[in-house]
Structure 1
Amino acid sequence: MSSHALHEIFYPDSIAVVGASRDQTKRGFRSIQKLLEDGYVGAIYPINPKESEILGLKCYASLGDIPGNVDLVLVCTPAKTLPQVIEQCGRKGAKGAVVLAGGFAEAGDDGRRLQDEMVRVAQRCNVRIVGPNTSGVFNTHKACNIVGFSNLKKGGIGLLSQSGNMALSLVTEAEANGHIGLSTYVGIGNESDIQFDEYLDYFAEDENTKAVVAYVEGMNNGRVFLNALRRITRKKPVVLYKSGRTSAGRSSAKSHTGALAGDYAVSEGVLRQAGAVLARKSDEILSLAEALSLLKPLASRRVAVLADGGGHATIAADALSEQGLTLASLSRETQQRLSAILPPSAAVANPVDVAGGTDANPAIFADCARILLEDPQVDGLLITGLYGGYGVRFSQSLTPIEMQTSSRIAEMLETYGKPIIVHSLYGSLYADLRPAPLTCIREAGVPVYDSLELAVRCMLALAEFGETQRRPSADAEGQAVRSPAFETVLASCRREHRTVVLEHEARQALADAGVPMPAPAILASSPHEAVAAFERLASVPVAMKIVSRDIIHKSDVGGVRLNVGSPDEVRQAFETIVANGRKHVQDPDITGVLVTPMAPKGGVEIIIGVVRDPTYGPVMMFGLGGILVEVLKDVVFRSLPLTQDDAHRMLAEIRASEILNGVRGAAPTDKDALVRLMMGISALCSAFPEIAELDLNPVLAYSSGVAILDARILLEDVGATTPQ
């Protein structure tokens, strides 16, 4: 049994209902009714000083009057009563209280004060609180149902939801399916006491939970949540649906990274990094959890398709490719074995189309499945078409054969340890409409779907969870590295009350932190010094950029000149750059002009940035850079500190990742150099929480090495002036 601190709350041997009622429309009645109907074997204590009994159970005037112990208290009374009720819970020795009432922090300042008072009492009395403003909890394995949902089926899927209606939707879908069973449900509520991460840790240890569904709208502490997610996904899969995917970007952001970090892309990146399987549609959530709770994860993305028609075979191949899965290359031996039992018209290269070879004898499906699963290049099998409905489509005499075939195929799950998923056009969501062979194979542990695209999405989830299981844990490679140079920069910024790290300072700090900065850069405070820098660099041509605490976007104010190739041009460029800065910004504090050699031609423009997300803390962005970055938005995010595996995955996940591999005869970019750069940035930003935003845009990625063309660092505002 689990030793988690929340175990006794969700496996209570006794339950008290404060606010018990005879009114059949109230939770104080329905909760007791459901406990009795579902066969809860523990003690039930209704609390109502005005009643003597409810539903045949003796009523008590208060918690203190109960003669026995109480593990869990369901509180159905108004918000204002809670501090007093929680204190009574503590005196009674109750482990937890489920608080249904609203009117707390979500209702304004008065509600916040009331919630804080309730939590203070709970902490003093050692009572843990679920909620408030929760829909309740249930545990089917304990028959503890104080939510009031009907027809709950025992199973291995745990539910965490910040929406009662979303939970009801999933429970209703599970009931309609007929095969999907649930373990424990928790309505998160306000998280006044027990936090989201604690529920994840509980599910990680709960022996009756095989997979977890989490519906998330927001979280109190994103960093703690991510850490808990990493812990549980090392053991069990978590299907997570994050709502609020279309939120607007932060208008106050001063960098490209900040402007791009305000939408769902951040959540998507960091949650997947932590191991969650993300559901993108609400109607796929339960199906993903079902597949993950039943099947072993894929050892790779190589999948075989077994179809009884060319149409489904082609659609399956397309869907697998679109989802990032791979059609396994079948060995010559496998193809020869298939040819020996299928008609000449059959396609025996993946996808396999039996071409009518099963019409008279569906048992051949099992023979083909065995051959495919024995191929070492195949790590998963997708059966698609009208399997299970041959008795409906052709002759009822085929149904007994399909029943035997279903049992044979299901046995292969254990024999080969590879996942099998069935798509059937007879695989209705509603179990009572499915032909018996499909019910048979589902009861034996093979999931069945009536949507081919959904079946493929579930196969992808098995691949993603397998990759999470094999992913190396974060280690010293992602640790923070203090930079003495940046310590000096910070001291200067604090002394001068500024949030902008000047570019020459940023370059020095990055180099000191181990970030490769191959091109030298010289700060000039006069035209004469600019010419001297040009001659010292002995490089033709050079780039020149304004350096000012008051000017962040240099090119927007005419503060950049490229391909400057002579002393006269350098002198003129310096004067023009400074004049433009003063023209566009009132009384700017101009430190000087940075002179640096022009980067070699060619290369792919990249942007790498870091922003302090208000939910998840420091996150890194990677994508195609340049002036169109905010239009194309081809970027991905990860939480810091980064691992090398994280960095490599970021390179592969942008939509234009093939550009990094070289297109139209171009050489591949130096991905190892990009990864080293990203790891250096991760180490610096992890060490210095003072960094609010960092932009390297553009970075030119070459076939050998990288060149940082512009470096921008902004600090947390501690009363400094705001740049333009």
Structure 2
Amino acid sequence: MGLSDLFDPDSIAVIGASKTPGKLGNDAMANAKEFDGPVYPVNPSGEGSVYGYDFVESVAETDADLALCCVPAPATPDVLQECGEAGVGAAVVFAGGFAEAGSDGKQLQEQIHHTAEEYGISVLGPNTAGHIMPHRNVFSSFVPGFDEIEAGNVAIVAQSGGVGVTATFQLDREGYGTAGMYGLGNRVNTDFDDVIPVLDADPETDAIALHIEGTSEIDATIETIHEASTPVVALKSGNRMEEFVQAHTAAPIQEYGRYEREFTDAGAIMADSMTELLDASRVLAKCPVPEGPNVGLVTAQAGPGIMMADYLQERNVNFPALTEETRARLDDILLGFTYDQNPVDTGRPMPEFGEVIDAVGRDDNVDIVLVYEIFEHSLGYPVEELEQLTNDIEKPVVFTVAGPDAALTEDRERMEELGVATFDTPERGAYAASVLAEMS
């Protein structure tokens, strides 16, 4: 019962399922049909089948342990009561019109909270886009296309369904997929402090990305972040325009500074944008934790390298002097017109570029290796040298790529397989390195 049915269901009921394209109950069925276990479209008015599943009149006729509630807010209390009587352990309530919608909505939310507590039902929502777990073929959402999201290693826990959906598609569009997306919505009895420990124990989740507008369970959330061994990155929004926030997820209005102070003290990284949220999560999921904050920067083009160096120095990231041994090795590789301090710039891509990265990566003064190189067809990226380097050292390597996407994709994917985190702009690569430095 409860959270286990939300995260690992054996069977799913879609209450309010529909044959009509465009209806919530049809979109939810289109995603739910990917589940490997039984799926029950529940609708007393339904006839025949939808997506190959025969309609049933009531959830009581099923053995479902997870219910997707595709009914309007006023009908939800009765539907949840039926779920409780049928032994359903978890429910996703998509409808809005609850605590965010005034006194009548608050009363409806109190009713479903009472029923959920009475029957031990874990409710995701209401007012949610649902949740997906691609590794388990669970797509409990009405969002078209969610059933095509690939599996990845970053889990997204978003108070806003729109933020969760946008972040999920961004990760998938950039080729990384997700370990899961969990839209908390109004958090009737499933909040951040409930979800974080489950994801921390999930072997498929290597980083947790949080979007927060506000929660009354802030102390418990801070405690779960402190106790988590999985890296946590948080984006706090809803810091202004209080009425807009209240009308969205009925979030309590809370000071941003408290989140920044206490989340950081608990070990989380604070992000300032969705791209930072996802990039920080990706690099922490991909790379080993560095022993220190010292960055060795290697570039094949000085202009972007200078931008990256500026970015990092503004964030007080250290560029250590390279050892005499490394300098001697670089002198044997590099031409005279290059810059061989730290940063190290080769002037342009060269056949020995991988050797330069290797030399800097093995330097005892360097904890984090950051690279920028524009792709050239005649050279490709130094994948073989990176494979040897990542096999020999336990240091994070961040590689910033540029060039025709189709041409560099194969090498980029191979670098990701080797544990090298890749990014596509100087700022994103530099930001990822700064996150690693902060976590050291």
TM-score strictly above 0.5: yes
* Structure 2 unaligned blocks of 5 or more: 243-252
**Which of 100, 111, 130 lines up with 1:106 in the alignment?**
100
1:95–1:126: 8 Å Cα contact kept in structure 2? yes
**Aligned mates of 2:393, 2:323 — CA distance in 1:** 17
* 1:64 corresponds to: 60
Is 1:278 the counterpart of 2:270? The answer is yes
CA contact (8 A) 1:312 1:385 kept: no
Distance across 1 between alignment mates of 2:144 and 2:192: 22
2:416 maps to amino acid: R
Question: SS at the partner of 2:74?
Answer: helix
Query: Which position in structure 2 is the counterpart of 1:218?
Result: 214
Aligned to 2:272, the other structure's residue is in SS state coil
Q: C-alpha deviations, 1:304-346, integer Å up to 9, x for none?
A: 0111233333333222211221002211111001111222333
The count of aligned residue pairs is 426
SS of the residue corresponding to residue 141 of structure 1 reads: helix
Amino acid at match of 2:339: A
The 5-angstrom pairing of residues 189-588 of structure 1 reads 189-232=185-228, 235-246=229-240, 264-356=256-348, 358-359=349-350, 361=351, 364-386=352-374, 389-391=375-377, 396=378, 398-399=379-380, 402=381, 405-426=382-403, 432=406, 434=408, 436-466=410-440
Q: CA deviation at 1:247?
A: 6.7
Q: Please, what TM-score do these two structures have when normalized by structure 1?
A: 0.56
3-state DSSP class of the match of 2:225? helix
CA contact (8 A) 2:2 2:89 kept: no
Structure 1 counterpart of 2:376, one-letter code: Y
Q: Is the 8 A contact 1:247 1:264 kept in 2?
A: no
Do the aligned partners of 1:247 and 1:262 also contact (CA within 8 Å) in 2?
A: no
Structure 2 counterpart of 1:20, which letter?
Answer: A
Contact 1:12 1:71 in 2 (8 A): yes
Provide closer, same or farther for how the CA distance between residues 407 and 246 of structure 1 changes in structure 2, counting only shifts above 3 A: farther
| In 2: Cα distance, 1:7 partner to 1:163 partner | 23
Q: Is the 8 A contact 1:323 1:457 kept in 2?
A: no
Shift of 1:246: 4.7
Identity within the alignment, %? 27
Structure 1 vs Structure 2 CA RMSD: 2.2
Paired residues of 1:19 and 1:28 also in contact (CA < 8 A): yes
Deviations 1:3-50 (A, max 9, x none): x962331221200011011111112111211233xx321100010111
Q: Distance in 1 between the 2:331 and 2:397 partners? A: 22
Map of 1:131 onto structure 2: 125
Aligned partner letter, 1:449: F
2:163 alignment partner AA: M
3-state DSSP of counterpart to 1:390? coil
**Does the 8 Å contact 1:19/1:76 carry over to 2?**
yes
Match of 1:142 in 2: 136
Alignment partners' CA distance in 1, 2:430 and 2:4? 36
Q: Report what 2:36 is aligned to.
A: 41
Give the C-alpha shift of residue 205 in structure 1: 1.1
> 1:407, 1:444 within 8 Å by CA — same for their partners in 2?
no
Within 1, Cα distance between the matches of 2:81 and 2:407?
52
Structural mapping, 1:83-122, within 5 Å: 83-122=77-116
Query: Equivalents in 1 of 2:284, 2:100: separation in Å?
Result: 35
- Alignment of structure 1 residues 677-716 onto 2, 5 Å: none
Matched, 1:176 2:173: yes
Query: What is the alpha-carbon distance in structure 2 between the residues aligned to residue 106 and residue 355 of structure 1?
Result: 57
* Equivalent residue letter for 1:28: G
Matched residues in 1 for 2:199 and 2:2: separation? 11
- Is 1:164 paired with 2:156? no
Which of 1, 19, 35 pairs up with 1:22?
19
> Residue 323 of structure 1 contacts residue 456 of structure 1 at CA under 8 Å; is this kept in 2?
no
Tell me the TM-score normalized by structure 2. 0.91
Could you say if the C-alpha distance between residues 464 and 8 of structure 1 is closer, same or farther in structure 2, counting changes exceeding 3 Å?
A: farther
Q: Distance in 2 between matches of 1:337 and 1:247?
A: 57
8 Å CA contact 2:129–2:165 kept in 1: the answer is: no
Are the equivalent residues in 1 in contact too, given 2:2–2:122 (CA < 8 A)?
A: no
1:443 Cα deviation from its structure 2 partner: 4.0
Q: 2-side partners of 1:122 and 1:158: how far apart? A: 25
* 2:294–2:319 contact (8 Å) kept in structure 1: yes
**Structure 1 residues not aligned, in runs of 5+:** 249-260, 467-724
1:266 deviates by 3.2
Q: Distance in 1 between matches of 2:153 and 2:412?
A: 21
Residue 371 of structure 2 aligns to a residue in which SS? Answer: strand
Deviation (angstroms), 1:242: 0.6
What SS does structure 2 have at the residue aligned with 1:327?
Answer: coil
Instruction: Please report how far the alpha carbon of residue 435 of structure 1 lies from its aligned counterpart in structure 2 after TM superposition.
Output: 5.0
In 1, Cα distance between the equivalents of 2:9 and 2:426? 42
Any conservation in 1 of the 2:66–2:90 contact (CA below 8 Å)? Answer: yes
Partners of 1:313 and 1:121 in 2: CA distance: 58
SS at match of 2:357: helix
Match of 1:483 in 2: none
